[in-house]
Structure 1
Amino acid sequence: MQDLTDRDTDAGERIRTAAVLLFARRGYAATSIRDLGKAVNMTNAGIYHHVTSKEALLADLMRVAQRGLIDSTERMLAPYRRPADRLSLLIGSLTAVHARNPMTTRVMDGELRSLTPGSAAHDEIIGLRDAYEAHWKAALADGVAEGAFRVADERLTRLALMSMCTGTSEWYRPDGRSTLEQVCAEFVAIGLAAVRAPAATTLATADFSLLPEYPWEPLDDRDDPRPDEARR
């Protein structure tokens, strides 16, 4: 028989799955506690048994997602010093995380505006984002300093490359024309070309087994209204 703790854990995960689904599709502001309750067949009181507020639920989802991304990135980067290896890992891992967790990452990337400005949660998420982006800044800066990269504007280059990677949450489909490994490899090639890195015989590649797992990520997003040929 499932004990109370197990039932609470299952309910909490179902609430988080519903929240990610609704926040990603409708937006945080357009989703109510009542909407969450309907999605998981619970009353408002039942929802509040597991979360203190809708904003606290959003902050928790973003906090866990950001920490998971940082932890996995740091484990992958630890053995490598060459800027080209580090940039390759950053591009491949960010691409894969967004492709594998499209709804969680849409919420993580797009709903900071929904946290109360100046609140502890808002400041914490900004700090986590800064900590993650510091790895990109360091890889690019080290590459330029060592003469391995030629970049006119490191900030713009970083933003362009990160946008390329995060965009997979919007268009990638596992049943599309390219495997995730192929997409990551192509994006790495595009990224290294963008920083004018010399051709390398071997580069570090992202280990997908080290990527964060988000147990609440909805299993699929198949009700895409676009025609099949528009899916990559």
Structure 2
Amino acid sequence: MDLKDRDADASRRIRTAAVLLFAQRGYAATSIRDLAREVGMTNAGIYHHVSSKEALLADLMRVAQQGLIDATERMLRGVRSPADRLALLISSLTASHALGPMTTRVMDGELRSLTPGSAVRDQIIALRDAYEDHWRLALADGVAEGVFRIADQRLTRLALMSMCTGTSEWYRPDGDSTLEQVCAEFVAIGLAAVRASAQVVATPDLSLLPDFPWEPPDVRNDPRPAEARR
């Protein structure tokens, strides 16, 4: 393995460890020393690859959020029907959180850890808002076209998105339902929530979902502390 490959491997291992520890312990409770111990490096070795713990968090959140936006826009390309768009939004957000539970948990929950008023925090908020605009527009267009009946579009959007993101907490690949079944059931629930008429809606192409190469192996059923799983 040459120097470039070794650096890439070390960078990936640091990000995998960061996602694991930030998701399990929280960003504030994780130190650079903890990261170094998890990947078998010195503190100086960590700083060779990242400028600071906050910069590492921001990079993870930025890449993950942009990946979700890009995947969503690929999935929605050419789709006009509000019901189809809502169905694809529900499926893709559900599946992204089910398949990348720790990355999405960090992406969703650690905005509070970025320095208030900082440029990077503003950038992450802008990316989050750009993603949520797809939901706002789908719901607004459905109401405008008379195919959705919604009393409060904001509350409906928040409720549906919370349903989807919750899969990062409970979905198991070896559980009773396949991911496709979960997505289909959530789409049915979502369309019922907006009082859409029963119809066949677009089926998501899950191969278009964002790739999080640093996502840790599924350790949710492993009771051992992180250090013991190395």
Task: Normalising by structure 2, report the TM-score.
Answer: 0.96
* 1:103 maps to 2:102: yes
Q: Distance in 2 between matches of 1:21 and 1:40?
A: 11
Which residue of structure 2 lines up, in the alignment, with residue 142 of structure 1? 141
**Structure 2 counterparts to residues 60-79 of structure 1, below 5 A:** 60-79=59-78
1:222 Cα deviation (Å)?
3.8
Task: Normalising by structure 1, report the TM-score.
Answer: 0.95
Q: Distance in 2 between matches of 1:203 and 1:192?
A: 10
Once superposed, what is the RMSD of the aligned Cα atoms?
A: 0.7
1:64 Cα deviation (Å)?
0.2
What code does the residue aligned with 2:101 have? P
Q: Distance in 2 between matches of 1:20 and 1:199?
A: 40
* 1:211 maps to 2:203: no
Q: Distance in 2 between matches of 1:153 and 1:224?
A: 41
What code does the residue aligned with 1:180 have? L
What code does the residue aligned with 1:48 have? Y
**Secondary structure of 1:174 counterpart:** coil
Superimposed CA distance per residue, residues 43-75 of structure 1 (whole angstroms, 9 cap, x where no aligned partner): 000000000000000000000000000000001
What code does the residue aligned with 1:96 have? A
Superimposed CA distance per residue, residues 87-124 of structure 1 (whole angstroms, 9 cap, x where no aligned partner): 00000000000000000000000000000011111000
Superimposed CA distance per residue, residues 144-186 of structure 1 (whole angstroms, 9 cap, x where no aligned partner): 0000000000000000000000000000000000000000000
Structure 1 segments of 4 or more deviating over 4 A?
none
1:223 Cα deviation (Å)?
2.7
What code does the residue aligned with 1:191 have? G
Q: Distance in 2 between matches of 1:224 and 1:207?
A: 31
Which residue of structure 2 lines up, in the alignment, with residue 228 of structure 1? none
**Structure 2 counterparts to residues 1-232 of structure 1, below 5 A:** 2-200=1-199, 202-223=200-221
User: Which blocks of at least 5 consecutive residues in structure 2 are unaligned?
Assistant: 224-230
What code does the residue aligned with 1:216 have? W
Q: Distance in 1 between matches of 2:116 and 2:131?
A: 20
What code does the residue aligned with 1:206 have? P
Percent of matched pairs sharing the same residue: 80
